[in-house]
């Protein structure tokens, strides 16, 4: 939540009152994460191999709660968004040296068993160098090396093969003893050519990797344990260095992490002998390569890793760690060994003209809540930039602007500089760009201050970065670099208008975990005493209607209701209550804390008592247009739901309008579930995840999207800028989508062992999807024998080559914070979505050309495809929380 200048100045005006000062670790900022993380885990649909134990999800919940209570929010989100959203084999490649198996086998097996028990499947590649040397010595074979490469003749190869099999079996048996299914894979993965047959004999250079044995092992619920032996196309076994084999495997699998287990536990600075916590290659490699100790094995290792990461997505990283630190490296911010990543090269600018792309800068700043909550975010940013041009500042950013910081130098000697903007995308803080930016700031500004709100979900990071802090109402002022310590800080605070009742406190990590210097950030707040650096229109920052936070990747997040929220009861009339959707709506309204049914109309059920509704004794009526007009004139109804077949709704809508409704703000709203008004620009299309929520909140006539159309749009929308040609959608629905009127499409006998295609071109949903997305699509609907639930298989041609992970990240970013959209790693299933209120999107299968992706989406056609979405729209339009009365599971 961004802190506006107005709000910040108000905080500083607390000088008129004694200031409450607290120690950093007295703030309760970590405990609530356990519950929220548990909810987050339940919202994302996780998949695992068919044979995975039934308690996997429960175990994952335990991991999340554990991280929540001993670590940071980022550690929880890292586990959730990274490790459980990718296909299993893309989690991590772990290279194990032979000495590790000999000396630390119990610790290694225990660490791998833990990962497996929480549903993760690292791919393990091991060497056996020390063991091979002993076996060769016992066999009377003298090892030979050329340029650091073992010359492998026929006798050496025979011994090596036996050695690898023995060590592989040791690790597999150790895992099996801990209840972990493990599969030894000795061959079939690496194909190689001779490196130089005359020189090295049976030494190979990997030419290709076959992932199928690995995928088959994971599908069977087994950890794949690989040796580094390879074969030529003709079947000759070749010896391959285990480090090289692990690298080639990583290039093929594109994992999130590549881990090299090392006895030393990391790389060390040759001058200080301190362990290097992290290396950001794009930013630090040039300087690093000029150090006198950057040579021999260290240079070779880092250069190999640099080449490897150059072939992997920027989100991938390499960790060099000790065996006992494996879990800590994978699950915590602080890490344990040396983390190497590409990162992004940072630049520093001191004028607006130095930014080559002002539009890109403007878009980045609009993510800050102080701008996002303005009536015109773009205008607010432009005003801010105009003021910035006449003020001294230093801006730090990476090339894609995943992190952008603006620092104002101290106005007077002895004062701290002030960090007024720190806008970071989700990718920026998950991939450590924010930390790199902050470190650059710290190098140039030895004394700095910034302000955060106590409700900030990332407050722990600020405490970890600060030397001290002081509470000011609902805000915390942080600083570092006061040489005089707390006494100097107190004097500075007093000079800014504070009347401190107590001394400021020293900040210490709230997590309670000793921190390595490897942290992650999100955003900081405008200075309470900044000299006109922030734009006007910031008074809404704490008000009501935007859910956007600095760094948000979702341009249309759920609204956060504040002073404008209503808790007043409202009356709803349901016209067309007999169908399946009508019944689903009755059930939802029955559990809604503020909505109640005043009238339920059905021609067929008129006079019968309404079943499944406990708030009042209501009987079905058969409302005609005159009844509706009179009810509207008398103000009996706050919201009308038209759950009627296509082509039937208009007379009833006209009656509401004639009675004075749906005209003026504050009058009755109408939500139409048919297709009658989805192509009418005078009505608001009600898909909250894609249509601006403020627009829906101000609407009085809302056209509820179709069920097929909702899932299809959500499955395509994040890729709109990358689409080449027309997407095609193969949709299959349960027979409830065909309504209650008997037809071949809802005849169970006809549907059994059958799939019924219909309206294969020009279906109304085809036109609806095309109109809303602005791109022509092909839609082919089918009906199957199950009752409710839809499955879409969407084929999308792409303008440029993209990877599965890049596309999945786009979707995760676009739907960040959405309570009814889950982005999952593998293809979602109808069985899991039936009876649920959201949409699941997954698969992200990319063609070998990189120019075509297939995405799968599932939705319950009666709930999020109709009734639940209707309730979302009503909640927004009536002033309630969008998800009021909707079970979030």
Q: Give the catalytic positions in this structure.
A: 707
SS3 content of the chain, % helix, strand, coil (to 5): 40, 20, 40
From CA 47, how far away is CA 806, in angstroms rounded?
A: 20
Alpha carbons 732 and 781: distance in angstroms, whole number? 6
Q: What is the DSSP code string of 133-202? A: HHHHHHTTPPP-EETTEE-B-HHHHHHHHHHHHHHHHHHHHHHHHTT--EEEE-SSSEEEEES-HHHHBS
Counting Cα atoms < 13 Å in the Cβ hemisphere of 680 gives: 13
Cα 100 to Cα 285: distance, rounded to the nearest angstrom: 29
Closest by CA position to 825, among listed 846, 839, 810, 804:
804
Q: How far apart are CA 229 and CA 743, in angstroms?
A: 62
Whole-angstrom Cα distance, residue 435 to residue 439? 6
Phi and psi at residue 572, in whole multiples of 5°? -125, 135
Calpha distance 550→344 (Å, rounded): 20
Closest CA to 584 of 171, 831, 862, 174: 862
**Helix 281-289 crosses helix 296-310 at what angle (to 10 degrees)?**
150
Distances (CA, A) of 684 to 7, 17, 648, 671, 712: 34, 49, 19, 10, 19
Six-digit token string for 867: 């009734």
199 DSSP β-pair partners: none
Give the H or E element holding residue 321.
strand 317-321
Residue 579 and residue 870: Cα distance in Å, rounded? Answer: 15
**Distance between start and end Cα atoms, the chain:** 26
The dihedral through the CA atoms of 524, 529, 532, 535 has a sign that is positive
326: enclosing H helix or E strand: helix 326-331
Alpha helices, DSSP H only, in 538-611?
A: 580-591
In sign, the C-alpha dihedral spanning 708, 710, 713, 718 is negative
Give me 638's structure tokens.
């706050």
Determine the Cα angle at 85 with ends 81 and 88, to 5°.
135
Q: How far apart are CA 347 and CA 282, in angstroms?
A: 11
Tell me the C-alpha distance between 811 and 752, whole Å.
35
Paired strand residues for 451 = 477, 525
Angle (nearest 5°) at CA 548 between 542 and 552: 140
Q: Which residues contact 173 (CB under 8 A, 6 or more apart)?
A: none
Q: Is residue 339 classed as helix, strand or coil in its secondary structure?
A: strand
What six digits make up the tokens of 460?
């722990």
In angstroms, the Cα distances linking 624 to 577, 603, 638 are 14, 10, 18
In the block, tokens 């001290």 appear at 468
Alpha-carbon distance of 34 to 67, in angstroms, equals 8
Query: What is the token pair recorded at 107?
Result: 């610790």
């Amino acid at each position: 939540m961004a802190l506006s200048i107005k709000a910040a100045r108000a905080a500083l005006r607390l000088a008129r009152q004694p200031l409450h000062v607290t120690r950093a670790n007295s703030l309760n900022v970590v405990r609530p994460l356990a519950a929220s993380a548990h909810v987050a885990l339940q919202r994302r649909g996780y998949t695992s191999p068919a044979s995975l134990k039934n308690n996997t999800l429960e175990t994952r919940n335990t991991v999340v709660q554990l991280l929540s209570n001993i670590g940071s929010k980022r550690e929880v989100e890292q586990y959730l968004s990274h490790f459980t959203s990718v296909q299993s084999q893309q989690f991590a490649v772990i290279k194990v040296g032979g000495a590790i198996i000999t000396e630390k086998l119990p610790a290694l097996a225990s660490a791998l068993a833990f990962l497996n028990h929480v549903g993760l499947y690292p791919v393990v590649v091991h060497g056996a160098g020390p063991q091979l040397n002993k076996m060769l010595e016992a066999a009377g074979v003298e090892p030979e090396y050329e340029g650091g490469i073992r010359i492998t003749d026929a006798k050496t190869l025979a011994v090596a093969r036996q050695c690898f099999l023995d060590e592989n079996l040791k690790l597999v048996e150790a895992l099996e003893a801990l209840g972990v299914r493990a599969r030894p894979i000795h061959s079939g993965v690496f194909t190689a050519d001779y490196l130089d047959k005359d020189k090295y004999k049976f030494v190979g250079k990997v030419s290709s990797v076959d992932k199928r044995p690995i995928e088959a092992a994971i599908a069977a619920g087994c950890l794949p344990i690989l040796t580094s032996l390879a074969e030529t196309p003709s079947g000759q076994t070749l010896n391959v260095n285990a480090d090289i084999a692990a690298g080639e495997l990583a290039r093929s699998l594109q994992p999130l992490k590549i881990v090299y287990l090392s006895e030393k536990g990391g790389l060390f600075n040759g001058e200080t002998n301190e362990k290097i916590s992290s290396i950001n290659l794009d930013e630090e490699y040039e300087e690093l390569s000029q150090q006198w100790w950057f040579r021999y094995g260290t240079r070779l290792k880092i250069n190999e890793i640099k080449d490897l990461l150059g072939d992997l997505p920027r989100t991938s990283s390499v960790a060099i760690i000790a065996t006992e630190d494996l879990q800590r490296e994978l699950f915590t911010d602080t890490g344990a060994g040396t983390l190497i990543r590409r990162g992004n090269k940072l630049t520093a600018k001191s004028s607006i003209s130095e930014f080559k792309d002002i539009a890109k800068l403007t878009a980045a700043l609009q993510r800050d809540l102080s701008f996002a909550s303005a009536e015109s975010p773009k205008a607010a940013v432009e005003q801010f930039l105009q003021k910035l041009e006449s003020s001294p500042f230093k801006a730090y950013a990476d090339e894609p602007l995943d992190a952008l910081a603006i620092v104002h130098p101290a106005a007077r000697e002895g004062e701290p500089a002030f960090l007024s903007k720190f806008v970071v995308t989700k990718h920026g803080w998950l991939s450590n760009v924010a930390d790199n930016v902050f470190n650059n700031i710290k190098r140039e500004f030895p004394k700095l201050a910034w302000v955060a709100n106590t409700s900030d979900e990332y407050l722990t990071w600020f405490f970890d970065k600060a030397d001290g802090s002081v509470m000011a109402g609902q805000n915390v002022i942080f600083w570092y670099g006061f040489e005089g310590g707390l006494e100097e800080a107190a004097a500075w605070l007093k000079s800014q208008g504070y009347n401190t009742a107590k001394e400021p406190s020293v900040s210490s990590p709230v997590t309670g975990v000793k921190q390595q210097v490897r942290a992650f950030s999100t955003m900081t707040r405008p200075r309470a005493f900044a000299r006109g650096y922030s734009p006007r229109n910031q008074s809404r920052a704490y008000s009501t209607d935007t859910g956007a936070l600095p760094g948000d990747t979702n341009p249309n997040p759920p609204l956060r209701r504040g002073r404008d929220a209503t808790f007043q009861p409202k009356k709803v009339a349901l016209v067309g209550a007999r169908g399946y959707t009508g019944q689903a709506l009755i059930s939802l309204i029955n559990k809604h804390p503020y909505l109640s049914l005043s009238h339920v109309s059905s021609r067929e059920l008129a006079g019968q008592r309404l079943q499944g509704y406990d708030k009042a004794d209501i009987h079905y009526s058969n409302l005609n247009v005159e009844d509706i007009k009179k009810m509207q004139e008398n103000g009996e109804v706050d919201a009308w739901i038209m759950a009627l077949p296509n082509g039937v709704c208009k007379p009833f809508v006209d009656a509401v309008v004639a009675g004075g409704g749906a005209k003026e703000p504050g009058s009755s709203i109408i939500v139409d579930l048919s297709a009658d008004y989805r192509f009418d620009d005078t009505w608001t299309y009600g898909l909250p995840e894609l249509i601006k929520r403020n627009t829906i909140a101000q609407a009085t006539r809302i056209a509820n999207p179709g069920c097929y159309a909702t899932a299809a749009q959500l499955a395509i929308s994040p890729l709109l800028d990358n689409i080449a040609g027309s997407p095609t959608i193969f949709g299959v629905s349960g027979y409830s989508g065909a309504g209650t009127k008997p037809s071949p499409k809802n005849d169970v006998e006809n549907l059994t062992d059958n799939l019924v295609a219909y309206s294969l071109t020009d279906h109304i949903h085809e036109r609806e999807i095309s109109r809303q997305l602005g791109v022509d699509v092909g839609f082919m609907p089918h009906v199957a024998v199950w009752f409710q639930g839809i499955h879409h298989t969407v084929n999308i041609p792409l303008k440029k080559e993209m990877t599965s992970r890049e596309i999945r990240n786009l979707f995760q970013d676009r739907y960040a914070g959405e309570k009814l959209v889950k982005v999952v790693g593998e293809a979602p299933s109808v069985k899991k979505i039936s009876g649920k209120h959201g949409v699941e999107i997954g698969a992200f299968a990319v063609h070998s050309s990189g120019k075509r992706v297939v995405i799968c989406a599932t939705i319950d056609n009666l709930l999020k495809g109709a009734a639940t979405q209707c309730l979302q729209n009503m909640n927004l339009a009536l002033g309630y929380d969008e998800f009021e009365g909707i079970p979030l599971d």
